[in-house]
Amino acid sequence: MPTVLLIEDDDESRRATSELFAREDWTVFEAGDGEVGIELALKHRPEVIVCDLLMPKANGFQVCRAIRQQLQPTKIIVVSGRDYGVDRTGALEAGADEYLVKPITWDLLSSSIDRILPQPPRKPVDENRGAEFHPLSTRLKLWGVRGSIPVPGPATVRYGGNTSCVEIRGDGEIIILDAGSGIRSLGMALEHEFGERSVKLTLLITHTHWDHIQGLPFFLPIYKEKNEIRVLGYEGARVGLARILAGQMETPFFPVSLRELPGNIAIEELKEMEFSVGKVRVCAKFANHPGVCAGYRLTTSSGSVAFFPDNEPYELLKVQVADRDQASVQEAREFAKKERQKLVEFLGSCDVLIMDAQYTDEEYQTHIGWGHGSLSRVVSLALEAQVRKLILFHHDPDHDDEMIDEMLERARLLVVESGATLEVEAAREGAEVWLTPRRQQQAPGN
Ligand SMILES: [Zn+2]
Ligand SMILES: [Zn+2]
């Protein structure tokens, strides 16, 4: 569903516009003043913003300027009760795409949207697949954000307690990254959405540590004959992918074996590091993590997403190992530098990076060699790779909501200190991120 943000201080008029959009199946966010509006715009990155001109805290001109600087693809429609030429010109100069005079009707809005969006959002585009896909955007939804083991409870309600699972919808595909315990809720949501229709999806497994596969036996779509499920991953260190996934469903661990499942499930071991899922291009890279563990970079027509749920930076690890083995520390540093550079290149300029940031820098000192990330190293990696948005992932089971808040604040501070622009979020169960195509760059003249 396309997303709109309404920024309007008049509650009644905002509610009326909200209803117009909601009736057309838009997801609507609302802000009562300009400041909150800018905040929500950066958080939700809607396709369209409808913004009043005269509001407390930040007026429509200020909102347009702030948003235009940071959210190029978002279209802004300014609405005003006044029809002065100077207001119209001022709004367009500040970055608005349209200027409409109240009262606002759906006809007025929709013809405006048709004009400014290159391909206006429409309802279902792919009848065969039965899913509702938004042709303009790729949507990411986080269903499980935790590492190691699920930790539900009052201390983790805000960020969530389920283990690794991310859903990506783009270019007509449903791609699921990892089958941690978060996949259970995703399965229920898919069955609810599709009903009697077939669900066709691809599950990409990064590795078979339990926190990345333990939800699979509870993923409802595997129990329905109508569904087609492809499971892709690299071979485990000792046994094949299919055997590992089947193994956790054998007696005495589970009452229903994988063989008995009615759903059409194809488990395929990946041999190549580059492949496609429909129109989505996938590149893989092995992560620095015990056993065979891959990270993926997916490129859709709307942008790219990289997923490295478990990964340890090489820097300190290599030096420590060199120290222990009495090898050359200098050589170890060189090796680490090269490996890091390869990762920087792999992640280069991706729109969203979801990355293992399990430990604070202090905690990492006592967890070197455990296979997980430390906060400042992950931030510096994302900065170096010029990523647009970093999502801190694989939260430690011992970290409660406050602790994750603190880590997020620390990460954002590091970005500010660097002077660069990088959006940072801590992965939160239920959070959605929309990717919209970047504005076409104008070709330089000869
Ligand atoms: Zn893990
Ligand atoms: Zn792992």
Q: Which ligand number lies closest to the CA of residue 394? A: 1
For residues 37 and 439, the model is more confident at: 37
Residue 123 has pLDDT above 50, yes or no: no
* Residue 163 alpha carbon to ligand 1 centre in Å: 8
- 51 in Cβ contact with 63 (< 8 Å): yes
| 438 three-class SS | coil
* Residue 55 alpha carbon to ligand 2 centre in Å: 49
CA 200 to chain centre: 21
Question: What gap in Å lies between CA 178 and CA 165, rounded to an integer?
Answer: 5
| Max Cα-Cα span within the chain | 77
Domain spans of the chain, in order of start: 3-116, 138-435
Question: What gap in Å lies between CA 60 and CA 63, rounded to an integer?
Answer: 5
- Sheet containing 228-233, strands listed edge to edge, beginning at the edge strand earlier in sequence: 264-269, 228-233, 200-204, 173-177, 165-170, 138-144, 432-435
Question: What gap in Å lies between CA 114 and CA 48, rounded to an integer?
Answer: 11
Question: What gap in Å lies between CA 302 and CA 437, rounded to an integer?
Answer: 4
Query: What one-character-per-residue DSSP string does 204-238 give?
Result: E-S--SGGGTTTGGG-GGGG-TT-EEEEEEPPPSS
* Residue 324 alpha carbon to ligand 2 centre in Å: 24
* Residue 200 alpha carbon to ligand 2 centre in Å: 27
Please write the tens of the pLDDT for every residue from 188-225. Answer: 999 999 999 999 999 999 999 999 999 999 999 999 99
| 245 three-class SS | helix
Counting runs of H as helices and runs of E as strands, what totals does the chain give?
12, 19
Question: What gap in Å lies between CA 209 and CA 430, rounded to an integer?
Answer: 23
* Residue 151 alpha carbon to ligand 2 centre in Å: 16
Pairing, β 294-300 against β 389-393 = unpaired
| 268 three-class SS | strand
Residue 131 has pLDDT above 60, yes or no: no
* Residue 389 alpha carbon to ligand 1 centre in Å: 21
Residue 442 has pLDDT above 60, yes or no: no
CATH 3.40.50.1980 for domain 3-116, yes or no, is no
Residues paired with 176 in a beta bridge = 167, 203
Q: Which ligand number lies closest to the CA of residue 396? A: 1
pTM above 0.85, yes or no: no
Q: What is the CA radius of gyration of the chain?
A: 23
- 1 in Cβ contact with 26 (< 8 Å): yes
Residues paired with 78 in a beta bridge = 51, 99
Give phi and psi for 263, each to the nearest 5: -65, 155
* Residue 38 alpha carbon to ligand 2 centre in Å: 37
Please write the tens of the pLDDT for every residue from 294-346. Answer: 999 999 999 999 999 999 998 777 777 766 666 677 888 888 899 999 999 99
Please write the tens of the pLDDT for every residue from 7-16. Answer: 999 888 888 8
Average of per-residue pLDDT values in the chain: 88
CATH architecture of 138-435: 4-Layer Sandwich (3.60)
* Residue 421 alpha carbon to ligand 2 centre in Å: 30
* Residue 373 alpha carbon to ligand 1 centre in Å: 11
Q: Scan for tokens 């694989």, then name that residue.
A: 394
For residues 309 and 271, the model is more confident at: 309
* Amino acid present at 337: K
Pairing, β 173-177 against β 200-204 = parallel
* Residue 144 alpha carbon to ligand 2 centre in Å: 14
Give phi and psi for 400, each to the nearest 5: -85, 180
* Residue 394 alpha carbon to ligand 2 centre in Å: 10
Instruction: Provide the 10 A C-beta neighbour count for residue 237.
Output: 12
Q: Which ligand number lies closest to the CA of residue 287? A: 2
Token readout for 83 is 């029809």
* Residue 211 alpha carbon to ligand 1 centre in Å: 5
Compute the average pLDDT of residues 281-305.
94
Compute the average pLDDT of residues 145-169.
97
Contacts of 7 (CB under 8 A, 6+ apart): 30, 31, 33, 34, 36, 37, 40, 41, 49, 50, 51, 52, 55, 60, 63
Q: Which ligand number lies closest to the CA of residue 212? A: 1
